[in-house]
Chains A and B, each alone.
Chain A
Amino acid sequence: MPPRKLVTGALLAAGSLAGSVLVRRRAARRRERVDLYAEDGSMHSFAEGTVEADRLLPLAHEILAAQ
């Protein structure tokens, strides 16, 4: 295989890998969650799909929908 094709292939592979990492990072950041901060300084984070988030997120949606 000519070296030029090899370089092009490697660049395409690297580009798509970087793109997928960016998309996954963005998607993870956009995931809904609830963070509860306790008086003792501890923090619990509940991502959507957990029992806690499923009880709290609808209330947050209700507040935001009223805007």
Chain B
Amino acid sequence: MLATMDAAQAIADLTEISPQVRQVAAVGADGSVLGSNLSDESAAAQLVERARRLLDTAEELRPGIAQIEAATIDGSVFVVRDGERLIAATTTPEPTVGLVFYDLKTCLRSIDPPKPKRRPAKKKEADDAAA
């Protein structure tokens, strides 16, 4: 099982082990940017928005898409979905496709899931009141 870590660390590890990856952004289940290697927040949001559009268009064409590679002369765009979360990345031209997919999945799965909000302990209060 993967050890979970914060998004910044996971993305730093990804770009270190996979030099083909240029830009990367991970997105949470609520659509928020979990992390990115882009210095500008708006650039990260833009990458996410465009990757989401690519995924949605692919879904229209073939429902049930898990991952995409769009290969162009300038480089490739990768989008990987894991449940409700997704990760989008750009790479250098002619990347090692299998490796990039593996590294992106590993990165996404290693990012801590957002912590659920704590509920007040109603049962204990009710027990105390009854006593």
Contact = CB atoms under 8 A, between A and B. Distances in A.
A58 to B, nearest CB: 10
Contacts of B94: 29-30
Contacts of A35: 68-71, 97
A36 B65 contact: yes
Interface residues of A, number: 25
Contacts of B85: none
A32 B62 contact: no
A12 B15 CA distance: 46
A57 to B, nearest CB: 6
B61 interface: yes
Interface of A: 29-30, 32-40, 44, 52, 55-57, 59-67
